[in-house]
A and B are shown apart, each in its own frame.
Chain A
Amino acid sequence: MSVRTLPLVFINLGGEMLYILDQRLRAHNTSEDNSEKGVWSENDRRIVMNDIVSTLFSKSFMDELLKPQKLYSHRTMKTVLTRIAHTSIMRLNPASMDRLYELMVMAFKYQVFLCPRPKDLLLITYNHMDTIREFVKDTPAVVNHVDETHRKIIEVYSSLPEGEFQLLRQTLLIFFQNMHVRVSTFIKNKIQNPNGRFVLTTSGPVPHGTDVPGLIRTFDNKGKEVRRSEFPTGGSYTSPVREGSFELHGQRVLRLGLNMYTVDHPEETHTSKIPSVKADDSPNLLAKEELNLLARLMGSMKVDSVPRVETRFRINLFNTDQEEEQAEASGGAVGSSFDVINIQAMQDEQAATQLAQIAGQFEEHAEKPETHSVNKGDDLLAMMDDL
């Protein structure tokens, strides 16, 4: 399948993450039991957004993503995205991070599923980037990072043929397969059914480059049209709307990828799983290839010196602390638990370098017997858990 998915995955999932965090950060302490420590000031919010955006769009991280490589498991994606979120002064408990990840993935799944043409995946990505630019518009240095990344994406993806974009889209759809988490804002807006499936209408404008269905044309041996007839389509389709812009700035026209969340409506981010769907049963051991990618991505993340603050601001994606704890206890939170107290920048860099070194050793000792590398894999996983 496609080897070019990672940049689009991280920009779009990262974008959705920022939309949700932005909503949470703007909400005036809406938790029922006043559990969120203090109200976030405008300044705090700006710092958090700037930190996350500058990490996500850092040159070293993007360069790593742009290398041709496979799309691995949700576990790896979630680990890297959590790390990105925690480069800011904000903290999320595992249960909240799990819910955040579910929201991000369901939103992106919706956008990919309904994407009119495979190439419109780029417009969805640019919508995310345009909104992200707005979040950090007061910090030109960070805006620059976003612009640079945007230019690179244009350079790499603009000339891909439609068939390649469809392969990319199919790869993403396999990644999202079997996820049917119900998101309350989607259900409210009637874009998702109560069974978790997205609504696909048989009406509306056809994608750019497609003709409205219903016409049969017959030709003779000389190529002259000899008959036209129509057939009932079972839908009500209309002509395509104008094409969106694929430039650095411009009207995207397509609305997929824009911020679906509104301020002061935290209930929008409520989710519920379908009881019958079984949980992700991916094996505990990540294959060597995947561990390599994880180590490289973590190592490439640029961690700017984070101010030594004693208290970290916590974001809760549930209504109360109690609810969050219950979600965690019921096994909702899979994977490592994070230290809520300080993680200093220095340690991060060290840890990241160590990870990269271990990854390097994997590549040198590729001939070693499998049991040995499995043990190393366990070490690497344990290290990640400590971060």
Chain B
Amino acid sequence: MYHKEKSIQIKNSASALYNNLCVLRIAPRRLTYFTVVHANVVNMVSASWDGLNYSHRQLQSKEPNVATSTSLIMQAAFCVLTSRDLLVVTSQKGIQMYESDGSIMVYWHALETPETPTEQAVFARGISGVWENYICVGVSSGAMLVFDIPSKGSNITLSEVLHEHSESITDMASECSGSQECIANLVTADDVGNLCVWKSGEEFQLLNKIPGFDMSCSSVKLWKGTVVAGYGTGQIRLYEAVTGILHAEVNAHARWIYSLDIAPFSGLLLSAAEDSLVRVWHLTMTPETNSVEIAHLHNECVTDTQICGAKFCDGDGYAFAVTGYDLSEIIRYVQS
């Protein structure tokens, strides 16, 4: 179904972090951006569609002062909003927002760090752009920061802080089908597997809370009102977002799941885990019976590699890219 294509070499290897690959397709310029986190650096590659041009850029985590040692980055993700795209980088010290090509930093938000280190680590993790012009970022305390993004410029403001999760946020995702009919447009996940479903607005509204089973939910997606969640046990679960009804449960992987992605136009699902396997699935919705089904399509094994990021490169799922711990390349697969 898929075959391996030429890999893209990156300047450093990928770190073992959840969802450690982000892809942004710039159709007008026939380019795709890839971001991979390595310790305190974000490696950005801009690849032309003809496969001839690659340009690299590195973004560093912002240091508050020289005396402290470097701050590790937890995640980097593109946020696609109606009026603009931004690249958000979250670290132990705070949140940085850049123009999507990484050229200019437009906003910096420092996390409150106590004077003496506490038992709980402090960091930001979990990033999502939400309709219409919000960017949400999670924090290790369980808090969610909601930023209001103007259509251009750097006048970004903190609009709200939400306190529904009591454990560290792991990932969040907005409704990716493009449909305006979905009531819920954001899902957030935490380290004990609790899922919160939201409706965005001047004041975000909590629509539902789906309890976890004491196992970290490391990656989450939201498509056509269905939450797709990946867990540390290697399981994938499909829930109806607004009601919390469990549609399906898959014993998908033998180790911790690190990344999920959905190709919104075709309903293809990508899952990747520490067991060195990437799996492609197909989701089908039957609105009449309100059922969702998942079928397995394809496996790829990245030998001896714990995978930490996997994303489709386009909305149909024609191609996908994979990163692994200690690997200095982005591996690409294309449909045969």
B251 touches A215 (CB 8 A): yes
Q: A170-B16, A370-B67 are in contact. Are A164 and B39 (CB under 8 A)?
A: no
| Chain B residues with CB under 8 A of A370 | 66-67
B110 within 8 A of A: no
A249 within 8 A of B: no
Give Cα A115 to B257, complex, Å.
Answer: 15
Q: Provide the A282-296 mask, 1 if CB < 8 A to any CB of B, else 0.
A: 000011111000000
Give Cα A109 to B328, complex, Å.
Answer: 18
B312 within 8 A of A: no
B181 within 8 A of A: no
Of all chain B residues, the one with the shortest Cβ separation from A293 is: B69
Interface residues of A in 157-186 (CB under 8 A from B): 161-164, 166-167, 169-171, 173-174, 177-178, 180
Interface residues of A in 364-384 (CB under 8 A from B): 366, 370, 373
| Chain B residues with CB under 8 A of A162 | 214-216, 232
A193 touches B304 (CB 8 A): yes
Min CB distance B171 to A, Å, is: 12
A68 within 8 A of B: yes
B247 touches A219 (CB 8 A): yes
Give Cα A170 to B43, complex, Å.
Answer: 19
Contact partner, B215, options A2, A68, A209, Cβ 8 Å: A209
B248 touches A166 (CB 8 A): no
Give Cα A290 to B69, complex, Å.
Answer: 7
A1 touches B72 (CB 8 A): yes
Min CB distance A115 to B, Å, is: 10
Give Cα A200 to B274, complex, Å.
Answer: 9
Give Cα A180 to B326, complex, Å.
Answer: 9
Contact partner, B67, options A1, A169, A211, A289, Cβ 8 Å: A289
A213 touches B254 (CB 8 A): yes
Cross-chain pair count, CB within 8 angstroms: 169
B92 touches A237 (CB 8 A): no
Give Cα A366 to B66, complex, Å.
Answer: 12
B118 touches A68 (CB 8 A): yes
A199 within 8 A of B: yes
Of all chain B residues, the one with the shortest Cβ separation from A208 is: B233
Give Cα A170 to B16, complex, Å.
Answer: 6
B160 within 8 A of A: no
Q: A163-B192, A170-B16, A237-B254 are in contact. Are A202 and B235 (CB under 8 A)?
A: no
Q: Provide the A1-44 mask, 1 if CB < 8 A to any CB of B, else 0.
A: 11110000000000000000000000000000000000000000
| Chain B residues with CB under 8 A of A289 | 67-69
Q: Provide the B130-168 mask, 1 if CB < 8 A to any CB of A, else 0.
A: 000000000000000000000000000000000000011
| Chain B residues with CB under 8 A of A72 | 69
A220 within 8 A of B: yes
Q: Provide the A263-290 mask, 1 if CB < 8 A to any CB of B, else 0.
A: 0000000000000000000000011111
Query: Which of A45-53, A123-131, A226-234, A352-360 contacts the other chain?
Result: A226-234
A213 touches B232 (CB 8 A): no
A197 touches B304 (CB 8 A): yes
How many A residues touch B, CB cutoff 8 Å? 64
B235 touches A198 (CB 8 A): no
B58 within 8 A of A: no
B301 within 8 A of A: yes
A174 touches B192 (CB 8 A): no
Give Cα A47 to B63, complex, Å.
Answer: 46
Interface residues of B in 277-306 (CB under 8 A from A): 277, 290-291, 293-296, 299, 301, 303-306
| Chain A residues with CB under 8 A of B90 | none
Q: A68-B119, A220-B291 are in contact. Are A163 and B275 (CB under 8 A)?
A: no
Interface residues of A in 66-84 (CB under 8 A from B): 67-70, 72
A163 touches B248 (CB 8 A): no
Contact partner, A210, options B168, B234, B249, B301, Cβ 8 Å: B234
Q: Provide the B2-22 mask, 1 if CB < 8 A to any CB of A, else 0.
A: 000000000011011100000
| Chain B residues with CB under 8 A of A214 | 251
| Chain B residues with CB under 8 A of A171 | 72
Give Cα A113 to B325, complex, Å.
Answer: 10
Min CB distance B116 to A, Å, is: 8
Contact partner, A221, options B68, B275, B290, Cβ 8 Å: B290
Q: Provide the B206-247 mask, 1 if CB < 8 A to any CB of A, else 0.
A: 000000001110100000000000001111000000000111
B16 touches A1 (CB 8 A): no
Min CB distance B333 to A, Å, is: 14
Of all chain A residues, the one with the shortest Cβ separation from B117 is: A68
| Chain A residues with CB under 8 A of B192 | 161, 163
Contact partner, A170, options B17, B70, B303, B304, Cβ 8 Å: B17
A217 within 8 A of B: yes
B67 touches A200 (CB 8 A): no
| Chain A residues with CB under 8 A of B16 | 169-170, 173-174
Min CB distance A38 to B, Å, is: 42
A216 within 8 A of B: yes
With most chain A CB atoms within 10 A of its CB, the pick from B214, B255, B294 is: B255
| Chain B residues with CB under 8 A of A173 | 15-16, 325
B167 touches A163 (CB 8 A): yes
| Chain A residues with CB under 8 A of B249 | 216-217, 219
Q: A197-B304, A214-B251, A217-B249 are in contact. Are A177 and B15 (CB under 8 A)?
A: yes
Min CB distance B288 to A, Å, is: 13
Q: A173-B16, A177-B13 are in contact. Are A234 and B301 (CB under 8 A)?
A: yes
| A-binding residues in B (CB < 8 A) | 12-13, 15-17, 38-39, 66-70, 72, 74, 92, 117-121, 123, 167-168, 170, 191-192, 214-216, 218, 232-235, 245-256, 275-277, 290-291, 293-296, 299, 301, 303-306, 325-326
- A sample of 29 inter-chain contacts (CB < 8 A) reads A1-B74, A4-B119, A69-B117, A113-B306, A161-B192, A162-B232, A163-B170, A167-B121, A170-B16, A170-B17, A180-B326, A200-B275, A200-B304, A206-B255, A207-B255, A210-B235, A210-B254, A211-B235, A213-B253, A216-B250, A216-B296, A217-B249, A218-B247, A219-B248, A223-B246, A234-B299, A287-B66, A287-B68, A288-B67
- Report the 5 A-B pairs with minimum CB-CB distance, sorted nearest first: A163-B191, A231-B296, A163-B216, A287-B69, A173-B16
What 17 new A-B contacts, CB under 8 Å, besides A174-B16, A213-B253, A286-B69?
Answer: A3-B117, A68-B121, A118-B232, A162-B214, A163-B216, A173-B325, A174-B39, A174-B72, A178-B13, A193-B304, A211-B233, A216-B296, A217-B248, A218-B294, A219-B247, A232-B296, A366-B67
